[in-house]
Each structure stands twice: as structure tokens, then as C-alpha cells.
Chains A and B, each alone.
Chain A
């Protein structure tokens, strides 16, 4: 089970092969280290350009207290000025108190505006009708509820929603489709989780935001790494070679990665491809959107 989507859970966390490659000692992710100053300047320019070219000056970010949304908020604040960024905190009644206080700490250092929209009333009202719903359904519902709030806030603010999905979770499909994965502009989608941590340190975000175990906090005690069945450092190192460097599976095994781990991750990337694309359109005519009607997103702006 991921941050939702049981149907895509390809990794069995109880598989001993997966628990966990390199969990006994810190995994060296030095080869993934980015030039953080350069990344910051590219992403700040990217946010500013993508918003202003379509006539926007403001951004809305869902502020969870986690490292991804903190980095997105900090980048947006640098790009647009903190007064033009609204961080929206959307706790549910079981959300960890630390999530909210960490989000507040991030708002303080980035000087962005904030608002709190509790989601307990609508979530509880909905699941009163479905008391047997499992935590994945509940987690997905919360993620999608938060998405609709962000888009509603963006209409109030005349702002665009800044995304917080990193490359690791996009590749693994570890997100709720149309939930936390939804945004107008995503500055983090080409950064692995360990690189987001590195950027967070460079941006001088609060220490507790960087060092705490990553969690979607959709239910009490949820942990990304436990749920995924491996450490981010291990999977990022693998993804870097598999995706960025196009190293084949046999060669990855030769390099010392566990075959079961490599194959499980590769399968997970494949089965979650649909989440990274628009809904598939049945082709009928001679010119079909996303197939032979091909234009850049920034077409005409």
C-alpha cells in the first residue's frame, strides 16, 4: 500500500529480499549529489517564468511539514516573493501534531503567508457512509480532498498550485493520482528524494523537517520507507543508475544491487506508468490529442 492505490502496490514489504538493501549501514548517495546552488537558481527561474508567462504572480502550496512541500514553498517564495505564496495546512484529526508545527516552522523561515483548512469534517462525513473503508481509501480521499482545497484556494488567490512530487515517488507511483500528485507546476519532479533533502539543507530549512522520517501522515504511524519496503537512499541510488544512466538489470546486479530488489522496483516503475500520463484516449480521428496533436504545453504563451 502506498500513499494510496492498493492496485499499484507491486512491492511486498515483507519480502526479505527487500528489507532492506543496506539498511544496516548508511548508503552512500554521493554520486546523486547535485550542485544545489545551480538547482535552486534553475528552479526559482522556472517557477517565476512558468507563472508569469500565463499571467500569474502568486502560488499556492499545500504545506504538510514534510521536506518536499517545504522545498517547493521555499523555492516559490524566492521566485515570487514570500507575500505572493500561500501555504495551506490541511490537517485531519489524526494528523501528527509535529506535521502542523513543522509546517509552521517552514512558514516562519520562508516568511510565506499561511492558512489552515481542517479536512476532518468532510472526510468524516463521507466515511460515515462507508465505515468499513480501509486506510488506503481514507488516505486517498484525504489526498484528493486536499487537492480540491488547493485548487479552490488558487481560485481565491488568483494563483497556481505548485507541485511537491519528487522523482522517486513519481517513478514508484507512490502518490495518490489526482491527489498529492496534482499541480499546475512542479519544480521537484526531476529530483530524487535524497536530492530534495540536499536542496532542503542548502535552502536552510528547519533541521527537523530534513531529518525526520518521511511520511505522508495519512494514518497514525505511517512511514514511507516502511511502507515502500526500502530506504530512499537505496532506491534512489538504484533509480539513478536504472533510469538516468540506463544501466540494465543484469549489470545492476553485477554492481551489487539485490536482484529481487531491482526487479521489484523496475516492475513498480512499469505498472505505475499510467499515473505519469494523461488518461489514455481512444483514437478515432486522424488527429488525436496527445498522439498526433502535438504541441508544447507553453504553446502560444
Chain B
């Protein structure tokens, strides 16, 4: 199914969405085929009629109910990009669960981190989460944490509906750079909106200068040491 659904950036469907992006920016998911016939689980930011950015999903879940490495090639970069002076970053679903991805975007100075997902709803035990599915509660905690500790806006958009017995439970949200939830779409299908203001990012980064104080060189040196020790250590 992946090769059948895959498209390239010049696909008419993307052109149509790009046309729509003259009114409002769009972030959408697709299966992208590269010219050497690799298939990527990708997200595209469309702005003013053009493709502003493509993110190829880095972390392809292949465990439990997931099979992505069977079908997709993995992306190898997480890049900040600017649109109208605002610094953006995009992640796809499982990417977000690896804290390194949001860290990498944060140290590139991203203001708005957008994550799109088709996250299956699961976990109905009463003790696992108050009123929500365990998976919905987990996403909520993750988005809040990433927003608060990267001091970015986190825009999260999750699929709704059913497929093959799996439910997709929505829970799309926007969290502010202080971790506050500004929008919760819950299980509703529809267009929801909230105003976000980059001066809020600025204020939060003055109040809590985590990024200004961040020691990337230290992190890098320690990571290098850890990798070296793993390579040099007993197999």
C-alpha cells in the first residue's frame, strides 16, 4: 500500500493544498517518495503557495502494534526553518517521544514546534489515567513537558476515527511556552483556533532562561564520550 499511496512533492494534491496555503499555512502528513524510490513518512509545511519545509520522520516505531520500519526509510535530520520571521520545527508522532528531537529543535531556537500524529487510542484501565485513555494522557503530559522545558509553543494534531479496529482519539492541543494548555480539541472533529503570540516566547525565555543557559557543547562532549565508551567497551 505504501508505494501505491506515495507521492512526490509535485503531486497535484500537494499543489492544491499549496494553493490553499495562500490563505492559511498548512501542515499535513503524506508518504513521500524520493527519486531513488525510498519512502518516507513525512510532514510538509505549506506557506503562501509554496512548500516551506519537509520533515521526514526519524523514529519509525516497529514494536507492539507498529510496523513502520517495514515500509518506510527513516529521516536523518531535524531542522529549524523560518517562515515570516517565526522559527518552526516539525516532528511526526514517534519523533516526539524521543526527547532528543525536541531538544535539537529547541537549541536551534524554534518558537513553534508542530507535531502531527496518527496515534492509536489505547489503555482503558481505570487506574491508568483519570478519565482519558492512557495514550491520550501520555500525549498530554508529553506536549506539556516539551512546551515547558523547551519554552516553545507546542502544536499537536492527532487523528480521529477508526481503522481496522483501532481508534484514533484526537486530543489535539496547543501548549504555551510556559506549559499551559491553551487549546484542547478533545475528541471533536473540526476547525479550532487559538491566538499565539511570539512575545510570549520571549517573555518566558526571560523568566526561565533555560535555552540561554543551555550548554550544547557540554551535552555534545558528554554524548561523544558516552558513544566512544560504548564503542570501545566490551561488546
Contact with A along B121-148 (1 / 0, CB 8 A): 1001111010111000000000000000
- Interface flag for B209 (CB, 8 Å): no
Q: List the B side residues contacting A285 at CB < 8 Å.
A: none
Mostly helix, strand, loop or mixed at chain A's interface?
Answer: helix
Minimal Cβ-Cβ distance residue in A for B165: A46
Those of B1-36 within 8 Å (CB) of chain A? 1
Beta-carbon contact of B121 and A33 below 8 Å: no
Contact with B along A140-182 (1 / 0, CB 8 A): 0000000000000000000000000000000000000000000
Q: List the B side residues contacting A32 at CB < 8 Å.
A: 125
Among B46-54, B82-90, B156-164, B212-220, which stretch is in contact with chain A? B156-164
- Interface flag for A45 (CB, 8 Å): yes
Minimal Cβ-Cβ distance residue in A for B136: A38
Beta-carbon contact of A35 and B165 below 8 Å: no
Beta-carbon contact of B121 and A42 below 8 Å: yes
Considering residues B1, B161, B162, which has the most beta carbons from chain A within 10 angstroms of its beta carbon? B162
Beta-carbon contact of B165 and A38 below 8 Å: no
Q: List the A side residues contacting B132 at CB < 8 Å.
A: 38
Contact with A along B110-125 (1 / 0, CB 8 A): 0000000000010011
Q: List the A side residues contacting B163 at CB < 8 Å.
A: 296, 298
Beta-carbon contact of A31 and B125 below 8 Å: yes
Contact with B along A261-301 (1 / 0, CB 8 A): 00000000000000000000000000000000001111100
Beta-carbon contact of B125 and A50 below 8 Å: no
- Interface flag for A34 (CB, 8 Å): yes
User: Which range contains the number of A residues in contact with the other chain?
Assistant: 10 to 19
Interface size on B, residues (CB 8 A): 16
A31-B125, A32-B125, A33-B125 known; A299 vs B167 contact (CB < 8 Å): no
- Interface flag for A225 (CB, 8 Å): no
Considering residues B124, B125, B161, B164, which has the most beta carbons from chain A within 10 angstroms of its beta carbon? B124
Beta-carbon contact of A35 and B167 below 8 Å: no
Those of A21-50 within 8 Å (CB) of chain B? 30-35, 38-39, 42, 45-46, 49-50
A38 is contacted by which of B1, B127, B131 (Cβ under 8 Å)? B131
Cα distance A174–B12 in the bound complex, in angstroms: 52
Closest Cβ of chain B to A38, distance in Å, is 6
Beta-carbon contact of A50 and B124 below 8 Å: no
Cα distance A30–B167 in the bound complex, in angstroms: 25
B164 is contacted by which of A30, A35, A39, A296 (Cβ under 8 Å)? A296
Considering residues B125, B132, B161, which has the most beta carbons from chain A within 10 angstroms of its beta carbon? B125
Beta-carbon contact of A49 and B162 below 8 Å: yes
Q: List the B side residues contacting A45 at CB < 8 Å.
A: 162, 167
Apart from A35-B125, A42-B124, A298-B163, what 10 extra A-B contacts exist at CB < 8 Å? Answer: A33-B125, A34-B124, A35-B126, A35-B129, A35-B131, A38-B133, A42-B121, A50-B162, A296-B1, A296-B163
- Give A residues with C-beta under 8 Å from B: 30-35, 38-39, 42, 45-46, 49-50, 295-299
